[in-house]
Amino acid sequence: MTSALDAALAQADQNLDGSIARLKTLIAIKSISTDPAFDSETRKAAEWLVAELNGLGFEAGLRDTPGHPMVVAHGGTETGTHALYYAHYDVQPVDPLKLWHTDPFDMTLLDAPDGPRLVGRGTSDDKGQLLTFVEACRAWKAANGELPIKLTIFFEGEEESGSKSLPAFLEANKAELGAADIALVCDTDMWDRDTPSIVTTLRGMVADEVTITCASHDLHSGMYGNAARNPIQVLAEIIASLRNPDGSVAIEGFYDDVAELPAEIKQQWDDLNYDEAGFLGAAGLTQAAGEAGRSVLEQTRARPTCEINGITGGYTGDGFKTVIPAQASAKISFRLVSDMQPDKIRAAFRAHVEARLPPDATVTFAPHGGSPAVSVPTDGELLRKAAVALKDEWGNEAALIGSGGSIPVAGDFKKTLGLDTLLIGFARDDDRIHSPNEKYDVRSYHKGIRSWLRIIAAFAE
């Protein structure tokens, strides 16, 4: 296996320019899944991927859904480890376009102090990451012929627009997709420039939009001021009640199902020498505002959150309007960990709000999704093999780390397919995903391809 791996790694190195050219072609397809104006482009991206996979000897096909199509392909050996590789080919909108320094759909190679980078929408999230695995398969097959493990490849086209078709698709195809031993997802970050990571925990999420109504219509503040209940005031007091002075969440029962980090994982995180001041300073901040006594790394990766994501009410246009609004709204989200249940947290939050309504105030809620947290056993054989393979490529031990974000597909894989997921990505935290001037380092792309080659070889042993 060593000679086969060496040959594949050499092939990946020699063909890097071709791999970059293929990424440029994929980036040029404007697969913005959330905007119907780009539906034909989104389908075009799926068709391009099907053609590429079939050209590599996979049995690939387009699977239609009520939304954007899925891409499913099968290949490799018929015995040994069977991996399901997932990524998404859709991208975020590019607005505001005026802030881009280059055409977002004409991928540009730019020099930077820490090495060349590929700039364009989707270079990091997730087309560049998606292709690291496809290009690894290309290099292995060019060097050695058949892949040494069994592979199912699954690409989604709605990740950036809520994955509305995904649950039903997984349920309808669980016999086919759930036959794998492990799922692999490439949609996460490195720990730092030289330290790879495997995400072993993902926070879940609950989101609710709260609307407080008082009067039947907007009121003149001169005529009704003092006497009329103001829904913005009611909403502000409710929002203020969500946190305790020590930064913890004040909702009753919120922490009932929250577990502490295992001692060995906490020690590993402590050994990473995380730069808390640098992390906060990059956002113009100086002090952590979450739970007292918890490190920034714990607060952002392993503890539940309550965040106010938006507030509206009254007149917000230019100038001034002396009005007491009839309604005020807020969008509030919770990141969940360990065994926290979305339905339980949503119910506790709503009870908290309703208990604080004064006379003449009513509330309505609009849910915006809910998914549980996901964790992967850190002592699994395939995780261990992947960690060793990553160390061989990057020279540093892979960090087994929690992610502050939510990747619902990992939860869907566990719930519907019964599969654990290894989340292995090569992005960096400065890649500006979802923002203008998104980029992916050439080093990330190149060593990402090489990393997957090493993981494929390790799974074949």
- Supply the pLDDT for residue 79: 86
Cβ of 370: how many Cβ atoms within 10 Å? 18
Cα(345)–Cα(26) distance, integer angstroms? 40
Helices (H), 145-262: 166-172, 174-177, 221-224, 231-240
DSSP code of residue 101: S
Confidence at residue 446, expressed as pLDDT on a 0 to 100 scale = 98
Q: Residue 160, class by beta-carbon neighbours within 10 Å (0-12 exposed, 13-18 middle, 19+ buried)?
A: buried
Instruction: Let me know: does 311 contact 328? Beta carbons within 8 Å.
Output: yes
What CATH number does domain 204-258+304-370 carry, 3.40.109.10, 3.40.50.300, 3.30.70.360, 3.40.50.2300?
3.30.70.360
Q: Domain limits of the chain?
A: 2-202+373-460, 204-258+304-370
SS3 210: strand
CA-based end-to-end distance of the chain: 8
> Could you tell me where the beta strands, DSSP code E, fall in 40-149?
59-63, 70-76, 82-88, 108-110, 117-119
215: exposed, middle or buried (Cβ count in 10 Å: 0-12, 13-18, 19+): middle
Q: What is the pLDDT of residue 309?
A: 95
Helix (H) or strand (E) holding 208: strand 204-213
* pLDDT under 70: residue ranges of the chain: none
Record the pTM: 0.83
The H or E element that residue 392 is part of is helix 381-394
For 2-202+373-460, CATH number out of 3.40.630.10, 2.60.40.1250, 3.30.390.50, 3.40.50.2300 equals 3.40.630.10
Q: Where are the beta strands (DSSP E) in 92-136?
A: 108-110, 117-119
Tokens representing 116 are 């060349």
Whole-angstrom CA distances from 202 to 221, 304, 347 are 47, 11, 22
> 3-state class of 27 per DSSP?
helix
Q: Nearest CA to 6 among 139, 149, 110?
A: 139
Place of tokens 């280059």: 102
What is the H or E stretch that residue 185 is in? strand 182-185
